[in-house]
Structure 1
Amino acid sequence: MMKQKLLILLLLFPLVAIGQRKEKDTIRLYYLGGQSNMDGYGYNKDLPNSLNKAFENVWIFHGNPVPDENSSGGQGTWETLKPGHGVGFSSYENKNKLSKRFGIELSFAQKLQEYYPNEKMAFIKYSRGGSSIDSLAAGKFGSWEPDFNGKTGVNQYDHFLKTIRNAHEYGDINGDGIEDYLLPMGIIWMQGESDGDKTEEIASRYYIQLRRLMDLIRASLLSDDLPVVIGKISDSHNIDTGIVWPFGDLVQYAQEKYAKTDKNAAIVRSTRNYKYSDRWHYDSNGYIDLGKEFALAVYQLNQN
C-alpha cells in the first residue's frame, strides 16, 4: 500500500529537471505540517503591524484540513501569504476561507526574508489538529500512519500527498507568466502531543514512526536529505493531575533522538518557555517566536 501511494504520487508529481533552466522562476519551498500547534491558535488581532499584512514575494498553498475518510482533504489554491492560516482555515473548490487565527507562517516568512532578501518563497501547509502518527491514538482527529486503512484507506498522510500533488499542479503560482521551479528547502514539523497522551506503548513507538514519516515526506518532495526541523512538544501543566500529556516525556525523548541521529535535522526547544491560551495551545506571542525559531533552524541546516 505504501509503495503504491508513493508510485502514484511520483506519477502525478510534475517532474522537475535536475538542472534549473534559466527561463524558470526559482522559488524556495517549505512544507509546514503537524497538528494543532502547527495549525496555529494565535489571534490576528494580536499581530504587530509588521506581521499583519500581505507578504510580498511569499505564497502559500494551504491544504484543506479534514478528518480521515474525507475526500476534500488537501484541496486548495495558491495565494499571497497573509493572516488567517490558523485554526478555522478551510479551502473548497479553489477558494480559501481565511480564519481569525494565525500560526507560525507569518513570523517564519518575515525571518526568512531577512536571510534571503528579495528572493521568492512558497509554503505548502497541511496540518490537522489532534492528529497523531500512531493509528491507535488517532480517534476522530486522524492518523499520519501511511498504511492505516480505516474504513476507506484515506488518512492524514493521504491528505498530505493530495496537498503536495495539488500544489504542484500550478506551473506559475504567482501568475507572472514565468514557469516556476519550486526548490525544496525544508520540512517544519510541530506534532506529537496526541501520541503522548494515550499509552506508554504508543508514546514509545514515536521515534520509529517519526523517522519513517519524515523520510516519506522527504521522498514526496524528491529530496532524501531535505532539512527537517522538529518543534519539541511542551506541557502547560494546566490540569488537576499536573501533566496534560501523561507520556509526553517519551515523545520528547524521541524528538531529541531524531534530531541527534538524523544528519540533517534540528529541534526547536523554545516551546518550553511559551505561555498558553488554553490547556493545549500557545498564546499569540508563542507562535510569533516559534516561527522565528523555525526559520533560524532551517536556515542553519541549509548552510551546512
Structure 2
Amino acid sequence: MKNLFLAILFVLPISIFAQKAKDTIRLFYLGGQSNMEGFGYNKDLPKTLNQTFKNVYIFHGNSVIDGDTSGGLGYWSVLKPGHGIGFQTDGKTNQYSDRFGIELSFAKRMQELYPNDKIALIKYSRNGSSIDSLAASSFGSWDADFNGKNGINQYDHYLKTIKNALRVKDINNDGKEDVLVPSGILWMQGESDADKTEEIALRYYNHLKRLMDLMRASLLTDDLPVIIGKISDSFNDTDGKVWDYGDLVQYAQEKFAKTDGNAAIIRTTKYYKYSDKWHYDSAGFIDFGEQFANEFHKLDSK
C-alpha cells in the first residue's frame, strides 16, 4: 500500500503538468489583394520550398466576394504549396491550387531566423479588392463601414477568418493547448485603390491607417508590427502605367511606414518581373516572402 501511495504521488504531478502544458506559437496575419493571394506557380518552386513545413501551420480563410456568407471558412493544416490563387475550402476540406504566395518563403526564412519557434499563419486575401468602397467594383471592399448589399464586406470576412481560426485551442492536434501570440500583420494591397480616380488614391493613407488600427485592435495588440508590401507597376499598358495613380498610393504607403512607429515597408517589389500585367512571377513571390520575414526581424530586434 505504501509503495502504491508513493507511485501515485510520483505520477500525479506529471499528470497535472501534462494537462497544463501549452505550446506558444508565433501568429502572423497575411492579407490584402491578388499579390498576397499569390500567383506563383508550384512547378517553379525549388525543393526547399516544395515541401510540407514542420512546425508551421496555416488557417486559410475562404476568399469570396462581398455578401457571400462562406467567407472566412477554413481549418488549421500544416503548411504546404497550394495556398495561392484558386485555393478554396469549405471549412472541412481544402482544395489546393497549383499556385503559391508569400507564405512558403516567409515560413522558410522565419525558421532560419527563429529556429526554435513554431509559426502559425492566418491568411485571408481577396483578388482585386480595394479599401475604398468606391473602388470595389465586383471584387470587394475592406472598408469596415461599407454595407454593400447585405452588410458583409471583406473586413467582415477577415473578422470571421480570425474568429474561426482562434476558436481552435489545439491547432496541431498534439494534445496540448496552443497559445497563439499575435506577432505581425503582413499586408499587400493598394493596386485597386490606385487605378480609379485621383480622389480615391488620395484617400488611401487614411483608409490604410484606420484598417491597420482596426486589425491590430481585433488581435488585441495596439503596437502589433505591420509590414507593408509597396505596390509596383509593370508599365504594361497602352498609356504606360497599369496603376494610373499608383504614385499617390505608394506615397501613402511610405507615409504609413514612416509615421506609424512599428511598421516597415518592402521596396524590392519595384525590381520584380511579372507573369502578366498585374502579378509578380514565381521568383518575385519567393523573394517577397523572404523580405517580409527580414523586415519583421528588423522590427522585432529593435
How is 1:58-97 mapped onto 2 (pairs within 5 angstroms)? 58-97=56-95
For residue 218 of structure 1, the aligned residue among 216, 219, 222 is: 216
For residue 202 of structure 1, the aligned residue among 200, 203, 206 is: 200
Aligned to 1:169: 167
TM-superposed CA distance for 1:95, in Å, is 1.2
**Structure 2 residue matching 1:296: 3-state secondary structure:** helix
TM-superposed CA distance for 1:22, in Å, is 6.5
Aligned to 2:232: 234
Query: Would you say 1:123 and 2:126 are equivalent positions?
Result: no
TM-superposed CA distance for 1:300, in Å, is 1.2
**Structure 1 residue matching 2:131: 3-state secondary structure:** coil
For residue 55 of structure 1, the aligned residue among 47, 53, 58 is: 53
Q: Take 1:22 and 1:83, find their aligned partners in 2: how far apart are those partners?
A: 34
Q: Take 1:201 and 1:93, find their aligned partners in 2: how far apart are those partners?
A: 39
Query: Would you say 1:30 and 2:57 are equivalent positions?
Result: no
Q: Take 2:212 and 2:117, find their aligned partners in 1: how far apart are those partners?
A: 27
Aligned to 1:110: 108
Give TM-score, length-normalised by structure 1. 0.92
Q: Take 1:55 and 1:176, find their aligned partners in 2: how far apart are those partners?
A: 16
Q: Take 1:100 and 1:145, find their aligned partners in 2: how far apart are those partners?
A: 30
Aligned to 2:261: 263
Aligned to 1:292: 290
Q: Take 1:152 and 1:81, find their aligned partners in 2: how far apart are those partners?
A: 34
Q: Which deviates more from structure 2 when the two are superposed, residues 89-98 or residues 200-209?
A: 89-98
Q: Take 1:39 and 1:57, find their aligned partners in 2: how far apart are those partners?
A: 22
**Structure 1 residue matching 2:72: 3-state secondary structure:** coil
Letter paired with 1:178: K
**Structure 1 residue matching 2:116: 3-state secondary structure:** coil
Letter paired with 1:151: K
Letter paired with 1:197: D
TM-superposed CA distance for 1:180, in Å, is 0.4
Q: Take 1:208 and 1:41, find their aligned partners in 2: how far apart are those partners?
A: 28
Letter paired with 1:191: Q
Aligned to 2:151: 153
TM-superposed CA distance for 1:96, in Å, is 1.1
Identity %: 68
Larger Rg: 2
TM-superposed CA distance for 1:93, in Å, is 3.6
Aligned to 2:15: none
Q: Take 2:163 and 2:72, find their aligned partners in 1: how far apart are those partners?
A: 9
Give TM-score, length-normalised by structure 2. 0.93
Aligned to 1:100: 98
**Structure 2 residue matching 1:297: 3-state secondary structure:** helix
1:110-135 Cα offsets, whole Å, 9 max, x none, are 00001110321100000000000000
Q: Take 1:299 and 1:188, find their aligned partners in 2: how far apart are those partners?
A: 13
TM-superposed CA distance for 1:199, in Å, is 0.1
- How well do the aligned residues superpose, as a CA RMSD in angstroms? 0.9
Q: Which deviates more from structure 2 when the two are superposed, residues 21-30 or residues 281-290?
A: 21-30
Q: Take 2:269 and 2:20, find their aligned partners in 1: how far apart are those partners?
A: 41
1:52-77 Cα offsets, whole Å, 9 max, x none, are 00000000000000000000000000
Q: Take 1:303 and 1:158, find their aligned partners in 2: how far apart are those partners?
A: 33
How many pairs align? 284
Letter paired with 2:124: Y
Query: Would you say 1:143 and 2:144 are equivalent positions?
Result: no
Letter paired with 2:97: S
TM-superposed CA distance for 1:303, in Å, is 1.5
Aligned to 1:9: none
**Structure 2 residue matching 1:27: 3-state secondary structure:** strand
**Structure 2 residue matching 1:173: 3-state secondary structure:** coil
For structure 1, the residue ranges without an aligned partner over 5 or more in a row are 1-20
Aligned to 2:14: none
For structure 2, the residue ranges without an aligned partner over 5 or more in a row are 1-18
**Structure 2 residue matching 1:182: 3-state secondary structure:** strand
